[in-house]
Chains A and B, each alone.
Chain A
Amino acid sequence: MSSDTIAVIGGGPGGLRAARGIAEIGGSAVLIEQREFLGGTPIAENYAGLTPHNEPAEAAMRRMAEAVTSHPAVQVRLGTQVVAAEGEAGAFTLTLRGPDGREQVGCGAIVLATGFGHFDPGRETQMYGYYEFPDVIALQDLEAMLKVHNVVRPSNGQPPERVCFVQCVGSRDRQIGNEYCSKVCCGVASKEAIEVRQLLPDSKVFIFYIDMRMYGFWESQIYWPAQEQHHVQYIKGIITEVLPTKDGRLLVRGEDTTMGRPMEVPMDLVVLSVGMEPSPGTRAMARLLGVKQDKYGFIHAPGGPLDPVSTDREGIYACGAALGPADLEDTVSSAANAALRAVAYVRSRSLSAAG
């Protein structure tokens, strides 16, 4: 049976923006989130401040969530998963499993906002010792410490004197299979570097990089202030290995490519700038709905740059990092795009049915 309702799967920044967009232009939405809370990865992974403006993630996500939960045209299902899908565009039936058991929801179109997961630096390569050395952490681990304003070495609870970021961990790597640039890590690492310098003014902070990819305004919003005002040391040349030293520190080894010389620099805390991968939810929903994925597992958008949100199945749209590496700006932009496309789709069907 045809339906004008649009199902939005995923309650992070993309899903929240899509659901709000649908409601604001007169549609109705069901927002389905498997976690017990809205806000997605920024909340689940304890982000401190959002890149680039460093607005506290909690407040920003709460604002987005309230705009959705307060809108009468959006129903929210928390702690709920989509376990089955039937029907065709215009008349999908999703089977949901939630705290109150199973439920069937009819919808005319679907927006996938299932987001990304952080690359697991221990999975493919043990090079950096993420699971061996307590003081080797990832971007989101540092976010969690920044959120509580307490950056310490996990090994001893002491504030680190020397902190470095290693860029491109799990990105731009044919062997790992993630050939893409994850787009946000240069900006996020630089943003975190600034926060570390502010929190620990005596610390020295280093960023080892292949090339800094500060697209658009991030160049002068994040990179330049990090270097010029917060004295973050940028070093061109990536770290190949992390070794323990006798005094309990970590020795990072690599090549300084501008000097053409090897480097071995002691650190207290090594932060791996892990890239983005399709989240388990993105992979699961793609399979469940029969939507094509690209070679990396993100949702495939066959329309190219001028139609970045349509999937290969009629009536199903995707947004944000479900489609590939994306920052928040990309995510909410594509979410609004997907909302518009989904509402237009169900309306055009209603009109042709009525006509």
Chain B
Amino acid sequence: MPLSGRKVPPRAVEKELATVASPISGREVELPAMWNRMFEPRVLTDYGPDGFAALAALPGAESLEWCYGCGKCIPVCPVDVVGEYGPRKLHRKVQTGADLLADPDLWLCTTCGNCLRVCPKQVDMIQIMPAAREAALAGGGPVPGELAEVFEKTFRYGNALGANPRRRAEWAAAAGVPVRVLARDPSPVDVLFYVEDYWSYHPRGQQAARAFARVATALGIDWAILGPEEKTIGDSQRLAGEKGLFDSLVEDVTATLAKYSFRRIVTPDPHAFNALVKEYPRRGHEFTALHYTQLLAPLAGQMTWARELDLTVTFHDPCYLGRHNGEYDAPRTLIEAIPGVRLVEMGRCRQNGYCCGGGGGGMWLDGFSREHAAERLSERRVREAAQTGAQALVVCCPYEVSRFEDAAKSTGNEHLRVLDIIELIDEAMGLRPGEAGAAGG
């Protein structure tokens, strides 16, 4: 062994591009640095606690430092399945000097929570990511433009789509049943139905909202909506880093809710549900909140069916209904109650459900995420769903119908229909106006 200075340590080298000549065409091909590193890896020259210390100063973000590198999170991270990601890798990046607040990785986490489920050290990305994103926003760091636009729209219009708030209840006109709006009839009501953005404005969401209206009415539920007064709960905006926006929405929403007398809030949006059961109580606002599947599952026995659907379906667990809030059975109770519907599970279901990519702001980062991954999470999920042989992918989160319908097209799985559970119930109960069956199968 050389000793005492006789050996010159190798220099750190990184080439950004390598040029390789093809032996077939003779053309020169430029390879990115990733390939180059296979030939001459970049030398690590330091590790440090500074990145962790900066994160630890943000409430909730101290646990990234706790990672001991077991790697359990990586196989269950939905982003790692389509790219290079995961809490362990982020920990190492920060330990080797990367500034998480300025790194594209900051925006890739969907806060799906599957890493926390398996993490022995309780490294909590559900708190780390929103805290770091909030700091990045406050510090003027790079924020993906498409996300910044959604923050702006939410701030201006009270919804993520930037739609006209006065048209928030327009979907109801075509429901085929009367939909009570509390501003017009403020008498006490059992169920305040919090429609949320995508069921209010997105064409496919509106179809589901109308189906809910017909089913709830048929079941004799006493229910009403806020209509134009409703603003988004904004939980995904919070998880994407806009805690300030969320807090101001909490004030607006609770001020509106205080005007009316109701027993329960029911929402189709697992993200809103998550905020109502977790974030609202933390801020002193206690409501009885249910996801719509939790309202309807106990009533499945009272549903009167008009037809059998003859349909094999698979079900996608929403992260914020399942993993985050422990509800796996209510949606399945409803699916299994529908005559002629056969449920086949995907390999990744229930606690290990694979994220659609829409949570934690991912809904509004499709372009950005696509640049940093081999394919969309929704595309990966749709291919998994198609492999079950199901004819329909059934969901119960407003983000998912549009995400999965796009993914079914882009992956060549157009035969796979994407339907909300409520649409199946509506169909099987024969409630759709002007129709005499068959659409379900």
Contact = CB atoms under 8 A, between A and B. Distances in A.
Interface of A: 125-127, 129, 132, 204, 206, 212, 223-224, 227-228, 231, 233-236, 241, 243-245, 251, 253, 256, 258-266
Interface residues of B, number: 29
Nearest to A197: B49
Contacts of B45: 263-266
B44 A126 contact: no
Nearest to A164: B47
B44 A231 contact: no
Interface string B27-51: 0000000000100011111111100
Contacts of A204: 48-49
A272 to B, nearest CB: 15
B9 A265 contact: no
A132 B6 CA distance: 13
Nearest to B38: A260
A139 B4 CA distance: 22
Contacts of A233: 47-49, 95
Interface of B: 1, 3-5, 7, 9-10, 12, 37, 41-49, 52-53, 65-66, 68-69, 88, 92, 95-96, 121
Q: Main SS of the interface on chain B?
A: loop
Given A223-B68, A231-B49, A264-B45, 6 more contacts: A129-B3, A132-B4, A227-B68, A245-B9, A259-B44, A262-B44
B50 to A, nearest CB: 9
Contacts of A258: 69, 88, 92
A246 to B, nearest CB: 9
Contacts of B12: 264
Contacts of B37: 261
Contact of B53 (A231, A243, A244, A263): A231
B68 A234 contact: yes
B44 A253 contact: no
Given A251-B9, A260-B41, A261-B41, A212 B68 contact: yes
B35 to A, nearest CB: 14
B9 A264 contact: yes
Contact of B65 (A231, A245, A259): A231
Given A204-B48, A264-B12, A265-B47, A227 B65 contact: yes
Contacts of A265: 44-47
B66 to A, nearest CB: 5
A330 to B, nearest CB: 25
Given A127-B1, A231-B49, A231-B52, A236 B44 contact: no
Helix, strand, loop or mixed for chain A's interface? strand
- Residue from the set A204, A223, A245 with the largest chain B CB neighbour count within 10 Å: A204
A259 B96 contact: yes
A244 B5 contact: yes
Given A233-B47, A265-B46, A126 B1 contact: yes
A202 to B, nearest CB: 11
Contacts of A127: 1
Contacts of A264: 9-10, 12, 43-45
B52 A206 contact: no
A259 B92 contact: yes
22 contacts: A204-B49, A224-B66, A227-B65, A227-B66, A228-B66, A231-B53, A231-B65, A234-B68, A234-B69, A235-B95, A236-B69, A243-B5, A244-B5, A256-B44, A258-B69, A258-B88, A259-B44, A261-B41, A261-B43, A261-B44, A262-B41, A266-B45
A128 to B, nearest CB: 10
A264 B43 CA distance: 7
B4 A261 contact: no
A197 to B, nearest CB: 10
A233 B94 CA distance: 11
Contacts of A243: 5, 7, 9
Given A261-B42, A264-B9, A264-B12, A235 B3 contact: no
B9 to A, nearest CB: 5
Contact of B43 (A212, A231, A241, A263): A263
B4 A244 contact: yes
Contacts of A260: 41
B60 to A, nearest CB: 15
- Pairs of residues from A and B, 6 with the lowest C-beta to C-beta distance, nearest first: A231-B49, A263-B44, A261-B41, A233-B47, A262-B43, A244-B5
Contacts of B3: 126, 129, 132
Nearest to A214: B68
A265 B66 CA distance: 22
Nearest to A262: B43
Nearest to A208: B47
Nearest to A128: B1
A264 B69 CA distance: 20
Contacts of B69: 234, 236, 258
A212 B49 CA distance: 19
Contacts of A228: 65-66
A261 B12 CA distance: 11
Nearest to A256: B44
Given A227-B66, A231-B53, A236-B69, A206 B7 contact: no
A236 B70 CA distance: 11
A160 to B, nearest CB: 15
Contacts of B9: 243, 245, 251, 253, 264
A235 B7 contact: no
Contacts of B52: 231
Contacts of B92: 258-259
Nearest to A261: B41
Contacts of A266: 45-46
A27 to B, nearest CB: 47
A241 B1 contact: yes
A185 B3 CA distance: 26
Nearest to B5: A244
B94 to A, nearest CB: 11
